């Protein structure tokens, strides 16, 4: 009986530990709420390759929250301007996609009239990676208990952090390469400028010497 209690206590501790680590490492939800002000408003998100993206959006009157604005056009584009999602004259909805390539993805919201834009407020709940995964469906499909689901979240969160670190290292290397190329070009430019100045000074001395010799001043 005591063994069963100890196993139950240890299982509960593992569950809470996994939940805590997953909460700390899990990709955060990008919940945004903002006024349109202009006829077109875009938000941007940097997404790695093969990462799931799910976003819910809602347009409503900024003075009366319960009143939805049903004439908003939504367009989502990838890094190379490929259209991933497009809806017209909607007030709320959801778009989801898996990023084929890493880069900057944008979602644009637009209305036809500036007065409508100034009275419209948008709420966008942008989720990526672990936060965007439907874990209840995963648990049902793979027959996982709650602890296994939390451990799976933790594993995927760690993998995302590792991927982000690799991406940062790659960008750091790219910036270092650009910096080295720029420094090399600046060095060659400085050397060239110095040679031009020396050549110009020598030519001026030669020209002045010849000039004074012709004038019989030397």
Domains in the chain: boundaries: 28-144
Report helix, strand or coil for 155.
helix
Beta pairing partners, 68: 60
Distance CA 203, CA 209 (A): 10
Which helix (H) or strand (E) segment is 116 a member of? helix 114-118
Residue with tokens 């030669």: 206
pLDDT in tens, 78-125: 988 789 999 999 989 999 998 888 889 999 999 988 888 888 999 999
Question: What element of type H or E holds 172?
Answer: helix 146-214
The mean of the pLDDT values for the chain is 81
Asked if residues 114 and 37 have their Cβ atoms less than 8 Å apart, the reply is no
Higher-scoring residue by pLDDT: 203, 168: 203
103-110: strand order across its sheet: 40-47, 103-110, 72-77, 83-90
Q: For the segment 189-200, what is each residue's pLDDT rounded down to a tens digit?
A: 999 999 999 999
- pLDDT value of position 30: 56
pLDDT of 131: 79
Indicate if the pLDDT at residue 188 is higher than 90.
yes
Q: Which residue has the higher pLDDT, 168 or 24?
A: 168
Question: What do you get for the CA distance between the two ends of the chain, in Å?
Answer: 117
CA distance 31 to 18: 24
pLDDT band at 212 (very low <50, low <70, confident <90, very high): confident
Average confidence (pLDDT) over 185-212: 91
Fold of 28-144: Jelly Rolls (2.60.120)
User: Is the CB of residue 46 less than 8 Å from the CB of residue 168?
Assistant: no
In 3D space, the residue among 155, 95, 150 whose CA is nearest the CA of residue 128 turns out to be: 95
Give the per-residue pLDDT at 75: 93
- Please report the pLDDT score of residue 86 as a whole number: 93
The partner residues of 121 in beta bridges, in order of sequence, read 35, 60
pLDDT at 19 over 70: no
**CB distance 122 to 57 below 8 Å:** yes
Average pLDDT over residues 150-171: 82
Q: What percent of the chain has pLDDT over 90?
A: 31
pLDDT value at residue 153? 79
Q: What is the pLDDT of residue 56?
A: 92
Question: In percent, how much of the chain has pLDDT > 70?
Answer: 85
Amino acid 218: pLDDT:
59
Please, which residues have CB within 8 angstroms of residue 31's CB and are 6 or more apart in sequence?
A: 123, 124, 125, 126
Report the distance separating Cα 119 and Cα 113, nearest Å: 10
Give the model's pLDDT for residue 9: 47
Q: Say if residue 22's pLDDT is above 70.
A: no
Residue 127 has pLDDT above 70, yes or no: yes
Mean pLDDT of 141-166: 81
């Amino acid at each position: 009986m005591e063994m069963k209690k100890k196993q139950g206590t240890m299982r509960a501790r593992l569950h809470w530990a996994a939940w805590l680590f997953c909460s700390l490492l899990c990709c955060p939800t990008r919940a945004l709420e903002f006024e349109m002000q202009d006829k077109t408003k875009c938000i941007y998100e940097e997404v790695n390759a093969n990462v799931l993206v799910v976003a819910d959006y809602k347009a409503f009157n900024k003075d009366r929250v319960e009143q939805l604005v049903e004439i908003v056009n939504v367009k989502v584009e990838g890094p190379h301007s490929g259209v991933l999602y497009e809806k017209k004259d909607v007030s709320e909805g959801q778009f989801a996609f898996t990023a084929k390539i890493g880069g900057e993805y944008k979602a644009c919201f637009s209305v036809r009239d500036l007065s409508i834009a100034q009275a419209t407020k948008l709420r966008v709940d942008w989720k990526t990676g672990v936060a965007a995964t439907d874990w209840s469906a995963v648990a049902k499909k793979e027959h996982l208990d709650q602890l296994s689901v939390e451990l799976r979240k933790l594993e995927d969160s760690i993998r995302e952090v590792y991927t982000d670190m690799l991406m940062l290292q790659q960008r750091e290397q790219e910036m270092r390469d650009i910096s080295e190329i720029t420094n090399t070009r600046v060095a060659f430019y400085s050397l060239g400028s110095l040679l031009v100045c020396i050549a110009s000074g020598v030519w001026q001395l030669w020209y002045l010497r010849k000039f004074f010799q012709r004038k019989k001043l030397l």
